[in-house]
Structure 1
């Protein structure tokens, strides 16, 4: 990867996304941040800190398409960190699973793709009917996005993909009682987005720069194919 990388971080207004974007910018990288609305960028240095900003609500399919169009205006990214996520919301399937799928399908493939998972993915369901009938849990959506990350890991020449469990950290989503290290929460995705000395080079499920074993379904080729098929039908957008 070049010394200065062009990196997109979704859901970067606050929390882990903001922390990752800040760390990458502090290291001299050109960071494009995604936020829902301009009002989400309230700090005095926001206009100067970023290479650019893309706007859109990832709970809305039309907005996801528009976010992809806006991002594509910056050219091919060196890395995309799919950080945006919601917990216990009617919109969690769209934000946590459908948006990462659609952005990946619609944008030029970067050198590196990083998807935010959760340890809760291990209790997720492989019943893909839940993806379309409104009954999916947060754990389901995180199993599915982890599955996508591992499915994409060897799909395109020149692109690697990883999934990251940031831990239970004290963000707005995690809550003040979260027991994990907030700083460690963003370091792994920033590292995966910018470093070559990563083993495995693709297809890892990471927690604090160490690989762990994910839910078996996420590594199952048949389940990966079924999930992609359901998402293609749900969105009307083929992956390739």
Structure 2
């Protein structure tokens, strides 16, 4: 059985994935913003709290997680749709956790079909969140590129991005047409399946266990390098240590 960290798992897709993985016998560490958001953690190995919009709290989360041990998989599920914290939660936090955690065997980030509308021009991006148009779409392009960059830089591990679909969660709204059940199955599969059953082994962009082509910038090494440089400058943390 695997040791798995799921961020943003107090509700919605994160909680559904964490619960299903725990029910399957895996040791799941659930992350939530604060204790008031967690109703029942009885099936989880541990619960860690941090506001991923806060860089110091994200660094502290990585440190606490490292004391638990090396994770077999990390599912970067936490995300926000709008507001000043979009880049901090959707991009900066996965970057910081990836850079500071003991390298896990697998990293899965949640993307979105909306990343296809993201801009491949990083010239005017403000990662502090102020004054950005199309921030959600851009953030999902950036985190998709982050997964693809990680696949290149850590070839012994697995890294993938998942479009869970437009599902009826608090973020997606009640009218969302996609299946909540299917929305979390792909990330569970990528976190636990036999590597020989996943093709490509690393660097895939998935929707309901079907590989799709992401925005062309996601696989562009120049775009990846510029993005990583901006994230390193913004956080003061190199990524990934020793392999960039």
Q: TM tier, shorter chain? A: over 0.9
1:131 aligns with 2:126: yes
Deviation of the 1:157 alpha carbon: 4.2
Aligned to 1:216: 216
Q: Secondary structure at the match of 2:48?
A: strand
Partners in 1 of 2:155 and 2:15 — Cα distance?
30
Q: Would you identify which runs of 4 or more consecutive aligned residues in structure 1 move more than 6 Å?
A: none
The normalised TM-score by structure 2 is 0.94
Q: Secondary structure at the match of 1:115?
A: strand
2:44 alignment partner, one of 50, 63, 77: 50
1:23 alignment partner, one of 5, 20, 31: 20
1:154–1:160 contact (8 Å) kept in structure 2 = no
Deviation of the 1:132 alpha carbon: 3.0
Moved more, 78-87 or 151-160: 151-160
Aligned to 2:108: 114
Partners in 2 of 1:234 and 1:168 — Cα distance?
30
Consecutive unaligned residues in structure 2, runs of 5 or more: none
Deviation of the 1:77 alpha carbon: 0.2
Aligned to 1:152: 150
Moved more, 66-75 or 138-147: 66-75
Consecutive unaligned residues in structure 1, runs of 5 or more: none
2:88–2:127 contact (8 Å) kept in structure 1 = no
The normalised TM-score by structure 1 is 0.95
Deviation track 1:175-211 (CA, whole Å, cap 9, x = no partner) reads: 0010001100000000000012111100000000000
Partners in 1 of 2:68 and 2:143 — Cα distance?
25
Q: Give runs of aligned pairs for residues 64-75 of structure 1, distance below 5 A.
A: 64-75=58-69
Aligned to 2:234: 234
